[in-house]
């Protein structure tokens, strides 16, 4: 595959048969404009491409492709703005859009980087990438309605940082990205939604309802493939997660936990008990 070719809005077709779904994921990951990346991810039909699970690709420079803005800063440098002001509400929606931009990259990255998995693995993460692209577009459209755009506020790079740390170990990637960071989104979303309702932004609240619904599915996909790999490697799921969280310095998870969403996403009672150990209970 020629990684230097210019990015084109043209969507892969069978006539470009040398492209596999996995090589397309890498090409899309390299696109700098998040808007263009999201549009191309949403437009691509995976049934038009071979998956090629055994294809091994070299990591190109410039991963992930991302725009010049937003400016990336340390989390401590980000200002907290009152959500009751227009700028504060836009800042909150911008932070969510940035999470979705990263989430598109994470779903594409797991597809090209990790070979030799069943075809459903790649189709599952393609489905996730398409939903993350939709989430980004919904938030970007609402930011536009408020007079802002993605890139107008600084952002931090915590999500991609975890992708970097786990790029050599798929089990760690699954444990720490979908099962930790995305699952943390399940916990955080209801409170954010309520803040938006409290300032009268029903449109934003509706977008968060869509996101929460879809994210339960993403965490479920993470759980499914985490268990698949644990079974293959003859590992016990709860203690393996604790070991990986320690080894890869996962952020400590603090309650309240969204137990209903976590159960819907396939966490077992043993996993939820381990999660809540040392935490106030929030059933």
**In the complex, which residues of this chain contact Fe ion (CB under 5 A)?**
100, 103, 132, 135, 182, 215, 218
Q: Quick one: 109 or 132, whose CB is closer to Fe ion? A: 132
CB of 106 to Fe ion, least distance (A): 8
Q: Quick one: 50 or 264, whose CB is closer to Fe ion? A: 264
Helix spans in the chain (H)? 21-29, 34-43, 86-113, 119-145, 158-165, 170-176, 183-198, 202-232, 237-247, 259-264, 269-276
CB of 222 to Fe ion, least distance (A): 9
Q: Quick one: 219 or 275, whose CB is closer to Fe ion? A: 219
Angle value at C-alpha 151, between 149 and 156, nearest 5 degrees: 135
CB of 221 to Fe ion, least distance (A): 9
φ/ψ of 4, rounded to 5, equals -95, -5
CB of 172 to Fe ion, least distance (A): 18
CA distances from 255 to 219, 247, 258, 282 (A): 17, 22, 8, 7
Q: Quick one: 24 or 215, whose CB is closer to Fe ion? A: 215
What are the residues facing 50 on neighbouring strands?
20
Q: Quick one: 209 or 231, whose CB is closer to Fe ion? A: 209
Q: Quick one: 95 or 103, whose CB is closer to Fe ion? A: 103
Q: Which residues contact 95 (CB under 8 A, 6 or more apart)?
A: 78, 153, 155
SS3 state at 213: helix
Peptide bond before 64: cis, by omega within 30 degrees of 0? yes
Q: Quick one: 91 or 222, whose CB is closer to Fe ion? A: 222
CB of 122 to Fe ion, least distance (A): 16
Report the C-alpha gap between 230 and 189 in whole angstroms. 29
CB of 136 to Fe ion, least distance (A): 8
CB of 156 to Fe ion, least distance (A): 17
Q: Which residues contact 78 (CB under 8 A, 6 or more apart)?
A: 95, 154, 155, 156
Closest-approach residue to Fe ion (CB): 218
């Amino acid at each position: 595959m020629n990684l230097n070719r210019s990015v084109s809005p043209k969507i892969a077709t069978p006539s470009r048969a040398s492209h596999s779904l996995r090589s397309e994921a890498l090409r899309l990951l390299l696109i700098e404009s998040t808007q263009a990346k999201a549009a191309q991810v949403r437009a691509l039909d995976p049934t038009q491409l071979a998956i090629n699970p055994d294809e091994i690709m070299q990591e190109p420079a410039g991963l992930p492709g991302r725009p010049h803005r937003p400016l990336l800063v340390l989390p401590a440098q980000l200002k907290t703005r009152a959500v009751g002001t227009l700028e504060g509400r836009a800042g909150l929606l911008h932070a969510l859009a940035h999470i979705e931009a990263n989430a598109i990259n994470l779903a594409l990255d797991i597809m090209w980087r990790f070979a030799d998995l069943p075809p459903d693995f790649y189709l599952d993460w393609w489905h996730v990438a398409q939903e993350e692209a939709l989430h980004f577009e919904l938030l970007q459209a609402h930011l536009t309605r408020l007079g802002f755009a993605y890139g107008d506020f600084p952002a931090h790079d915590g999500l991609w940082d975890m992708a970097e740390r786990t790029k050599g170990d798929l089990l760690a990637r699954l444990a720490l990205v979908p099962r930790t960071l995305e699952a943390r989104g399940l916990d955080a979303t209801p409170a954010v939604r309520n803040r938006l309702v409290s300032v009268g932004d029903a449109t934003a609240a509706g977008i968060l309802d869509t996101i929460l619904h879809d994210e339960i599915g993403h965490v479920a996909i993470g759980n499914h493939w985490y268990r698949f790999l644990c079974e293959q490697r003859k590992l016990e799921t709860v203690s393996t997660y604790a070991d990986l969280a320690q080894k890869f310095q996962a952020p400590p998870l603090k309650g309240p936990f969204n137990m209903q969403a976590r159960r819907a996403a396939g966490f077992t009672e043993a996993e939820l008990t381990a999660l809540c150990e040392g935490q106030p209970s929030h059933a």
